Chains A and B, each alone.
Chain A
Amino acid sequence: MKSLFIWGLLSLTLLFTACSKNDEKPAPADELEGLTLVKSISNATHIIDLYTANGKFETGYNPIYFQIKTTSGSLVDNATSSWMPVMKMMNMSHSCPFSAIEKKQGAQYTYQGFIVFQMPGNDMEYWELSLTYTINGQTYTIKERIQVTDPTRRKVQSVMGSDNKRYVLAMMEPSNPKVALNDMSVLLYTMTNMMQFDPVDNYTIQIDPRMPGMGNHGSPNNIHLTQSADKMYRGKLSLTMTGYWKINLQLLNANGTVVKGEPVAGDNESSSLFFEVEF
């Protein structure tokens, strides 16, 4: 009986494998599992579908996925690409921290990277995303306006430090917070110029989570964020209940000097540098 079942399973698997081999352009649905289309941008030759987990570009850390297809609908799997998000303001423009683009792990047609938008757009001031990609030696560009909104809770801060450097901090994790000791990770950049943001090394990000809705109480056994081998700032965030938490931050440079943020103590209920979590 059991062996019959195994045989059945095996033959089914073979059948499906055979099918997908014959199909030249399979529906890459599994590559996009858990992702929602945000926007399709296009030029005369290609259409690029941009995806995120919640179908939005939001201020903060955005892992972004995209697929390139020809106007006839064939997916491209051999493109190399780069992007440049630019905030078009009334009297100036600037960029934001972003990553290089690579293939999504295990995927054939899906590319991925991240962008840290540090402010939302509106009718007058907006983000424009340029995507430059090369297929078989030929380079193409798509440039289109995108909509970036503010999530209800703050996940990024762009601040001027006491050392007169502008920093951008973006919370990556916890993206799905729990009543637990959560892994916390943060990206830290400094603005080198309006169009260039570079990662900062050897700083410390101190955290003090509080619940302003309930006497501003804190939580025990948090571990401050320090830079790990992958350059990310990592630590542990303890959340003792669900609800709205304000994660008060202090940014310390390599010498241990606070460049931004104040301790929560006495009458001071909050740091000027903070993230928010609500679940």
Chain B
Amino acid sequence: MKQLICCALLLSGLSSTGQTVPAQKDSTKVQELTEVIVISRQASRNKNSNLLSTVDQYLSSHEQVDLIKRGAYAWEPMLNGLSSERSVITIDGMRIYGACTDKMDPVSSYVETTNLSRSDIKNGQSGNAHGASIGGSLDLVRKKSGFGNNLFLTHLFSGFESNNQQRILGSDISYSRNRWYTDLDFTIRKAENYRDGKNQEILYSQFSKFNLSAAAGFKLNEHKQLEASVIVDDARDIGYPALPMDVSSAKAVIASIGYTRHHLSTTWQEWETKLYHNKVTHIMDDTKRPVVPIRMDMPGWSTTTGMYSRMEGKSSRHQFKLTASAHHNRSLAEMTMYPNDPNEKEMFMLTWPDVHTWYAGLFMEDNFQFHHQWTLNSSAGVAFQQHHLKDESGVKSLQIFYPDMKSVKNRFLKNFGSNLQYHPGNWRFSFGASYSERAPSVSEGYGFYLFNSFDRFDYIGNPGLKNEQSFSLNGTVAFATDRFSLKGQGSSFQIRNYIVGMPSPGLIPMTIGASGIKIYQQVPFATVYSGSLNASYGIVSGLSVSGKAIYRRGYTNEQLDLPMMQPFSYGVRLQYARNAFSAEASLDGAVKQWKYSPLFGETAAPAYTIASLGAGYQFKWKKNTFQLRSGVENIFNRYYTTFADWNRIPRMGRNLFLNLIIGFSEPLKAGL
């Protein structure tokens, strides 16, 4: 019975913090600087009114995350305004490399909300634990029921969205005992084309996805446990209206096995080691497009095998964490074009010439509370990275551009940083400075004639690129009482040897209709500033208002504006919750973009404001809980597009959503 109450409380969703919350202070964890996005439906802190929305929509709620949209599916997350090569996205610390040369399959597209409990964001250099990054890291943390709840819990959920007739159906089952637990869940989504604010159908914006996940844990003894997990994600018939090609199939299998030991000594609290393997197959083609200059297929494959081992410890004033990680990735992508003249042979090239990446890194973090109001976080890391091109003909093709190119390139990557925090009473001040480096991505180093449909250039990789180096400063001022909170955050990145595609006027593009060829080059430096302000106020019990404002700016040393920079954007949210009922109204918008990159093909994103409403009700009947959520997004059916919409494709018009979640729980006799 006690468990049942616990569970009901968990499901009730009554506590009233924002959807995005700073991590709870936990004396044994070094996570002071981690930002958390709550995704788990069971979590009381999840206040997203559309509980069954996609991972992308959850991520987009955070002010440090921008999502580039090429359609209704698989949005590409950017951290702090820096493109996705500059940050690391992991699933439970596992590295996964997308298999698409056109970034149509970010790591976040291979999971479902049912797989996840939350997403942890680390900014800048502090996100180097699982790979070299300068923008930060986003770790998608898997949901697990854990040991000792002695509970059988299952949910059946179903949702519908009117605009694109998205149907969502799924279920999760968890079984938790003292010595073991298992979790199993699946989700099916199927969506048709969506309509914009002018009620025009956006062709090729459909998608369908099936996701299955299983996890199990076994306690060997009081302090030792084994955990295994697998995710199978199978998306098909995914349209990319902003691009000239679609994806007929994107599949991923993500598996891991982990071993955790607690209380090794009074100093070392936890030691976790995980082995993982994942394989991504991404089939891009244009079979659904009636008119194309030439038919082509662009499949890509990516396989990653890796491990990490993490130790956490503490002493009287220190908390520290050591992470050693290593992985190997193989990325291969090719392009086949079918000539209109049937007497001509197929045209074939390797766009990623079987690039093998070896990475091994060590990262240390320390949290030193030297005064009850002062804390110093420091971290540093080193890593070795090797790119090895294993395909002979791939090397030969790149040697057309770089005759002296070697098939192996080794790099050493370093990072270090510190963050000082001061907590006087309700205030919190934080200031940090850091340095980090990253290696060029597979496309930046070795991509071969990759067409970018935004600036309409074919991109050629450059194996001679140096490491990018980032000097970053960040600061936070926060004030919080029970009713009122205010947080201002700012960061700046000065990136030396900034990698960017530059036009090569003498070269002829390959893609029909392309404007030219860009080769990845390095400009002496680029600067990116980012600032955000969040505030919330509890007007009366149950009723609160919150607001946020964000702005980013990026430019090179020659004052050329960087693309995909968020203009001044804002959001206001009014939330009400009483007993089993909750409601919210929100306004989101942006002013007209005045800094953008015509070189990248950008036009100024126009101003917009959209309004949304949502309401939820939940009740219990016998052993079942029922959660009903409904709402309207973009109520006034505004036609709009944002800075993050590829080729300025319009966003979804008015959309009505309906969620129904039925939960059933059964306490189990204690034991095992």
Contacts and interface: CB of A to CB of B under 8 A. Distances in A.
Contacts of A178: 393, 396
Contacts of A241: 335, 337, 347-349, 449, 510
Interface stretch (A30-38, A80-88, A129-137, A218-226): A218-226
B344 interface: yes
A179 B401 contact: no
Contact of B339 (A179, A181, A243): A243
Interface residues of A, number: 22
B540 interface: no
A219 B508 contact: yes
A217 B510 contact: yes
B512 A214 contact: yes
Nearest to A210: B508
B557 interface: no
Contact of A179 (B396, B506, B508): B396
A240 interface: yes
Interface in A228-245: 238, 240-244
A108 to B, nearest CB: 36
Contacts of A107: none
A243 B400 contact: no
A221 B401 CA distance: 7
Interface in B483-519: 506-513, 517
A243 B346 contact: yes
B349 A180 contact: no
B293 interface: yes
B396 A220 contact: no
A213 interface: yes
Contacts of A5: none
B341 interface: yes
Contacts of B350: 179
B341 A221 contact: no
Contact of A214 (B337, B343, B397, B401): B337
A77 B330 CA distance: 55
B508 A217 contact: yes
A179 B294 contact: no
B345 interface: yes
Given A213-B339, A213-B340, A214-B339, A278 B396 contact: no
A242 B294 CA distance: 15
Contacts of B348: 179, 241-243
A215 interface: yes
Contacts of B401: 220-221
Interface in A216-274: 217-221, 238, 240-244
Contact of A220 (B294, B339, B400): B400
Highest count of chain B CB atoms <10 Å: which of A219, A221, A243, A279: A243
Interface string B256-274: 0000000000000000000
A152 B345 CA distance: 12
Contact of B400 (A152, A214, A238): A238
A220 B507 contact: yes
B399 A180 contact: yes
B510 A240 contact: yes
B513 A179 contact: no
Interface string A177-194: 011110000000000000
A213 B341 contact: yes
Contact of B344 (A218, A221, A240, A278): A278
Secondary structure dominating the interface of A:
loop
Contacts, number: 89
A211 interface: yes
A180 B391 CA distance: 12
Nearest to A222: B400
Contacts of B508: 217-220
Given A213-B339, A214-B339, A243-B337, A219 B346 contact: no
B671 interface: no
B294 A214 contact: yes
A213 B400 contact: no
A242 B346 contact: yes
Interface string A88-123: 000000000000000000000000000000000000
Nearest to A242: B348
Interface in B332-388: 335, 337, 339-341, 343-350
A213 B393 contact: no
Contacts of A213: 294, 337, 339-341, 344, 347
A267 B445 CA distance: 35
A211 B340 CA distance: 12
B403 interface: yes
Nearest to B338: A213
Contact of B393 (A152, A179, A238): A179
B344 A181 contact: no
Contacts of B399: 180-181
Interface string A181-209: 10000000000000000000000000000
A240 B397 CA distance: 6
Given A213-B339, A240-B449, A243-B347, A179 B397 contact: yes
A7 B155 CA distance: 75
B292 to A, nearest CB: 12
Given A213-B294, A214-B347, A219 B512 contact: no
Nearest to A244: B344
A278 to B, nearest CB: 5
Interface in B99-147: none
A181 B510 CA distance: 16
A243 B338 CA distance: 9
A181 B448 CA distance: 14
Contacts of B448: 240
B479 to A, nearest CB: 58
Nearest to B293: A215
A238 B343 CA distance: 23
B344 A242 contact: no
Nearest to A179: B397
22 contacts: A179-B397, A180-B397, A180-B399, A180-B400, A214-B347, A215-B293, A217-B508, A218-B508, A220-B508, A221-B403, A238-B400, A240-B397, A240-B510, A241-B335, A241-B347, A241-B348, A241-B510, A242-B345, A242-B347, A244-B339, A244-B344, A278-B345
Given A213-B294, A219-B400, 9 more contacts: A179-B396, A181-B399, A215-B513, A220-B507, A221-B400, A240-B397, A278-B344, A278-B345, A279-B345
Interface of A: 152, 178-181, 211, 213-215, 217-221, 238, 240-244, 278-279
Interface of B: 293-294, 335, 337, 339-341, 343-350, 393, 396-397, 399-401, 403, 448-449, 506-513, 517
Please name the 9 residue pairs, one residue from A and one from B, whose CB atoms are nearest each other, closest first. A243-B347, A180-B396, A215-B512, A213-B339, A241-B349, A218-B508, A244-B344, A242-B348, A179-B397
